Amino acid sequence: MDSNWVDTSLDLNLNPFPGKPKKTEPVEDLVVLQGKELQMDALMEEFNQLRAENRKLTEMLTIVCENYTSLQNQFMELKNKNSENEVTTSRKRKGEAAPDDCANMIGFSGRSESSSSDEESIKRPKESSKSSISTVCVRTSPSDTSLILRDGYQWRKYGQKVTRDNPSPRAYFKCSYAPSCPVKKKVQKSAEDPSILVATYEGEHNHACPSQAEVSLSSTQTAANPCRSVPISAPVKPSAPSVTLDLLQPSFIKDVKKSSEEMDSADIQKLLVHQMAASLVRDPNFTAALASAISGGVLEQSRIEKC
DNA sequence: CGCCTTTGACCTGCGC
DNA sequence: GCGCAGGTCAAAGGCG
């Protein structure tokens, strides 16, 4: 990612009036000249302040980048460990009760056929032979009965069923963004904690992920907080050059999972802000947009003062 | 009009 | 073969 960084530091040492030659002022205009010198001093002071601000921002960006890199490294280590464990656990599954329950956690098990708390995927050989099955647990309001989980894709509900081991119904969704997309999703509330939605994804999307904005506009689903749900790792990234909060990042999911286990709500909020900032900073489009916005503002201000 | 949700009926796999 | 339970289909109706 390092190669994609846009240098966001602005050269605020620039001369705001570059092509303007200094005229020799007549002696009778001395008062006017002094006034202009005062104006120049004020401008220089303002530029110095902006430069200091810019330096602070650059330092903050550096810290954010370092944090992101370390988080990513931690995730990769964890992922490697998990993949080793899954090889051993998936062999001894048949006939066992589901060992894991998502009731007390938020997280996911990606690309694994040993999905936790999903016994039907174990029962049926047809399903277990599918390319990828992953499970996501999302904390929602217990009063929310919509069973709708916003994860950046468009889904069409094609069925709902009450299962034996869970009083809350299970909803069946198909990806409706692309007609040929084979991905299916099952969403059901946890039997032990109704505030947790358990979503099981089957298959992989064969299309780009529609942007969150598109989804929130086009979907007729309930208007919910876009951060309410935590999606699984998406196989296909959006290709449009828009600035998006990349909440699909593995490190984000990992931290949200961790946060629900050991942090209070204030810490979770801090973490969310941190992760969002890191996602924005990682996006070259955002940094470029930020740089142009700041420089545009400076030029605009100097133009106003010129007039 | 198109897309969505709802919901009862039907299909399919598994255990006995 | 039968019953059960999960999964899917498709008609009906709602909504923008």
Q: What is the 3-state secondary structure (H, E, C) of A125-146?
A: HHHHCCCCEEEEEEECCCCCCC
Residue A288 confidence class, pLDDT cut points 50, 70, 90: low
Q: Is the CB of A164 under 7 A from strand C?
A: yes
Q: Is the CB of A163 under 7 A from strand C?
A: yes
For residue A239, what are the CA distances in angstroms to A5, A65, A83, A208, A244? Answer: 18, 23, 28, 7, 11
With a pLDDT cut of 90, the percent of chain A lying above it is 0
Residue A148 confidence class, pLDDT cut points 50, 70, 90: confident
d(CA A203, C1' C11) / Å = 28
Q: How far apart are CA A242 and CA A238, in angstroms?
A: 9
Q: Is the CB of A115 under 7 A from strand C?
A: no
Looking at residue A12, its pLDDT comes to 40
Looking at residue A247, its pLDDT comes to 37
d(CA A249, C1' B10) / Å = 41
Q: Which nucleotide comes closest to A186 if you measure CA to C1'?
A: C7
Q: Which nucleotide comes closest to A188 if you measure CA to C1'?
A: C6
Which positions of chain C lie under 7 Å from any protein Cβ?
4-10, 15-16
The answer to whether A31 and A76 are in contact (CB under 8 A) is no
Looking at residue A274, its pLDDT comes to 57
Which positions of chain B lie under 7 Å from any protein Cβ?
3-9, 13-15
Q: What SS3 state is found at A201?
A: strand
Tell me: pLDDT of A189 over 80: yes
Q: Is the CB of A161 under 7 A from strand B?
A: yes
Q: What SS3 state is found at A172?
A: strand
Tell me: pLDDT of A202 over 80: yes
**For the segment 111-130 of chain A, residues whose CB is within 7 A of strand B:** 123-126
Nearest to A219 by CA among A228, A227, A210: A210
Tokens for A250, please give them.
């593995």
Q: Which nucleotide comes closest to A123 if you measure CA to C1'?
A: B14
| Mean pLDDT to the nearest integer, A163-191 | 82
d(CA A220, C1' C15) / Å = 9
Q: Is the CB of A155 under 7 A from strand B?
A: yes
3-state helix, strand, coil in chain A (%, to 5): 45, 10, 40
User: Greatest CA separation found in chain A?
Assistant: 101
Looking at residue A147, its pLDDT comes to 73
Tell me: pLDDT of A82 over 50: yes
Nearest to A155 by CA among A103, A102, A225, A202: A202
Which comes out higher in pLDDT, residue A281 or A88?
Answer: A281
Residue type, position A14, single letter:
L
Q: Is the CB of A94 under 7 A from strand B?
A: no
**For the segment 171-210 of chain A, residues whose CB is within 7 A of strand C:** 172, 184, 186
Q: Is the CB of A158 under 7 A from strand C?
A: yes
d(CA A110, C1' B2) / Å = 35
d(CA A106, C1' B4) / Å = 29
Tell me: pLDDT of A203 over 70: yes
Residue A25 confidence class, pLDDT cut points 50, 70, 90: very low
Q: Which nucleotide comes closest to A172 if you measure CA to C1'?
A: C7
